Structure 1
Amino acid sequence: MSKVGRMKLGSQGMEVSLQGLGCMSMSAFYGPPKPEPDMIALIHHAIQSGVTFLDTSDFYGPHTNELLLGKALKGEVREKVELATKFGVRAREGKYEICGDPAYVREACEGSLKRLDIDSIDLYYQHRIDTRLPIEVTMGELKKLVEEGKIKYIGLSEASPATIRRAHVVHPITAVQLEWSLWSRDVEEEVIPTCRELGIGIVAYSPLGRGFFSSGPKLLESLSQDDYRKDLPRFQPENLQQNQTIFDKVNELATKKGCTPSQLALAWLHHQGNDVCPIPGTTKIENLNQNIGALSVKLTPEEMAEIESLADAVRGDRYADGSSTWKYSDTPPLSSWNAEK
């Protein structure tokens, strides 16, 4: 297998592999944690294959995914990767809350550096936007962390166009991470154009529809009881039948192209532009190899249009309450916050 190529992410100088690896499912949310030695072997295999852009968060576990990556990247391996982690979702009294408070930003960064056992984080994202606090306040602390060398580049995840613009004024944003796939296309109207206008890289998470474009509704049969996908609207019986027809058509097109449905769904994203880096997650080496194979699938404009026409029919929201999406991530004006102080 040829090695995965490289791309520029954003306009601040960061370079990453053309495809990244989302590491969340190794430790959290998609069923029980997977065996550590197997996951370390998978991470090493990814790096040897040229997939060097690794994505984690202090929220995955919490903390256990960062600890896993810390072990996997010991020694010289660290120099071969671009490591992204996130802050902003913390557990308080048994509940999760979103926090962008400067003192917390610093505390979270120090915690991630320690768990990952590194001196500097390559790309540090605000995982979700704290809508109680002007984005400028959070960004001010992130800017200090860049100046101190604790982080190299700043990212936002699930941020609205207005939030992205305001943050970018304080310190250039290198990447915006957002859910983008054949069945999550709401970002195309405003968020993607905003990123492109400002020279911000685009990192697409859940590019396979949380595994749906790998095996369709059959996926549900293999999920463990504590897999949180079981609760997502698109996987509910009232929506699943309609969504199955989308998968069937994608599968049909993939067969014609001589690739798998997941490769077709990933190839569609790779064709969106040279500023887009999908980060499919997996816990199996064979799936990782298959994901890399998507880079070899070439699509014509006609095929792109045909694939896109299918996705218009998706049923169900991304999340049950919708609150953790970019649509609800505007923050108060800085003037209001200054007036309160």
Structure 2
Amino acid sequence: MTPVWTYDRPPRQGLGLMRLRSDPDSPGPDSRDAVALVDAALESGITLLDTAEMYGNEELVGRAIASRRDEVTLCSKFGIRWGDSGRFDDWSVHADAATVVSSCEGSLRRLGVETIDLYYLHQRSEETPIEETVTAMADLVTAGKIRAVGLSNVTVEDVRRAHAVHPVLAVQEEWSLVSRDVEEMLPTLGELGITLVAHSPTGHGVLHRGGATPLGAALADVALVRGASAGQVALAWVHEQGRRRGQPVVPLPGTTSVGHLRDNAAAADLRLSDHELARLDRAALSPRER
């Protein structure tokens, strides 16, 4: 089986599909727009598509990629279940071996595929040892149900323990100018040859708007000079981190808009100067840190 990607040649950028919905009563596009979004992503050179069991849209994603499956690197996640209340904070983590198997079977069925390219544990469990979870995921690799193992929302210790059981291809964590905790994990990922997939690289959309803060002003100024948007500059900042650190980083902006997708794809070609990067870094610090 060919590798999903190699550490020295990861995808340039991905597309997060968390907000993709087919329910006409919920915000987001219908299935026709999902096909247009996937087509636009592939036309823009973005082949890494990321969804999850908990997003409730795997069937929609499956229909959108059905005619172009061989062109897509398909990622999904398992381990988080919604409660019955319907509240956004009502969820629990299930990462035992039986859940790994049943969740994967469900995702394969909903996606309409035989194999998921990259399958993530969505959230670390306080109850199930990560060795049990990853052993079950390794069995899925052997069975041809998934091609690679990923982790999300985990600790450095989790990564080391998991990687000792089976090679971990990618760790998905938030990374942006307003969320930088993952930087403490980077040396371990580099040591183990694991790619960081950086979700929410524009701070859940906050950095698209600029604003009256020092960081908002810095983003707006750089964007004006570069003929770009504040969001594109924020996304370019994440791309530059991989180049500066000599470590692969795959930004994973999420959108349901074809226009925003094309803007995000263009940001991968925006090279920021050392002066611009230093200004953004300085502006992102708290007043006390500055």
TM-score under structure 2 length normalisation = 0.89
Match of 1:115 among 96, 110, 114: 110
Which residue type is aligned with residue 38 of structure 1?
Answer: D
1:207 aligns to 2:201 (yes or no) = yes
Distance 2:260 2:136 in 1: 38
Match of 1:257 among 216, 220, 226: 226
1:89/1:10 Cα in 2 relative to 1: closer, same or farther (>3 Å)? farther
3-state SS, counterpart of residue 154 of structure 2: coil
Mapping of residues 161-176 of structure 1, within 5 Å = 161-176=156-171
CA RMSD of aligned residues (A): 2.0
Match of 2:215 among 246, 257, 260: 246
Unpaired segments ≥5 residues, structure 2:
none
Match of 1:296 among 261, 269, 275: 269
CA contact 1:140–1:170 (8 Å) conserved in 2? yes
Match of 1:17 among 2, 11, 20: 11
1:130 aligns to 2:121 (yes or no) = no
Distance 2:132 2:202 in 1: 34
Task: Tell me the CA shift for residue 67 of structure 1.
Answer: 0.8
Distance 2:160 2:287 in 1: 30
3-state SS, counterpart of residue 41 of structure 1: helix
1:126-176 deviation per Cα after TM superposition (whole angstroms, max 9, x unaligned): 000111121101111001000000000000001110000000000000000
Distance 2:287 2:101 in 1: 40
1:173-223 deviation per Cα after TM superposition (whole angstroms, max 9, x unaligned): 0000000001001111x2111111110001000001111111246xxxxxx
Match of 1:88 among 79, 85, 97: 79
CA contact 1:9–1:202 (8 Å) conserved in 2? no
Q: Percent identity?
A: 42
1:96-143 deviation per Cα after TM superposition (whole angstroms, max 9, x unaligned): 110111101100000000000000000000000111121101111001
Distance 2:33 2:269 in 1: 27
CA contact 1:183–1:314 (8 Å) conserved in 2? no
Task: Tell me the CA shift for residue 93 of structure 1.
Answer: 4.2
Mapping of residues 19-168 of structure 1, within 5 Å = 19-27=13-21, 32-60=27-55, 63=56, 65-75=57-67, 77-94=68-85, 95-168=90-163
CA contact 1:10–1:200 (8 Å) conserved in 2? no
Which residue type is aligned with residue 156 of structure 2?
Answer: P
Distance 2:237 2:189 in 1: 19
Task: Tell me the CA shift for residue 16 of structure 1.
Answer: 5.1
Distance 1:295 1:215 in 2: 19
Distance 1:49 1:297 in 2: 15
Equivalent residues, number: 274
Which residue type is aligned with residue 98 of structure 2?
Answer: A
Unpaired segments ≥5 residues, structure 1:
1-7, 218-240, 316-341
3-state SS, counterpart of residue 144 of structure 1: helix
Match of 1:285 among 258, 277, 281: 258
Distance 1:40 1:314 in 2: 45
CA contact 2:218–2:279 (8 Å) conserved in 1? no
1:24-51 deviation per Cα after TM superposition (whole angstroms, max 9, x unaligned): 11229xx624222112211111112211
Which residue type is aligned with residue 228 of structure 2?
Answer: C
Match of 1:271 among 231, 240, 265: 240
1:9/1:267 Cα in 2 relative to 1: closer, same or farther (>3 Å)? farther
Distance 1:286 1:147 in 2: 40
Task: Tell me the CA shift for residue 307 of structure 1.
Answer: 1.0
3-state SS, counterpart of residue 173 of structure 2: strand
3-state SS, counterpart of residue 271 of structure 1: helix
1:290/1:33 Cα in 2 relative to 1: closer, same or farther (>3 Å)? closer
3-state SS, counterpart of residue 204 of structure 1: strand
3-state SS, counterpart of residue 77 of structure 2: strand
Task: Tell me the CA shift for residue 314 of structure 1.
Answer: 8.7
Task: Tell me the CA shift for residue 10 of structure 1.
Answer: 5.1
CA contact 1:246–1:314 (8 Å) conserved in 2? no
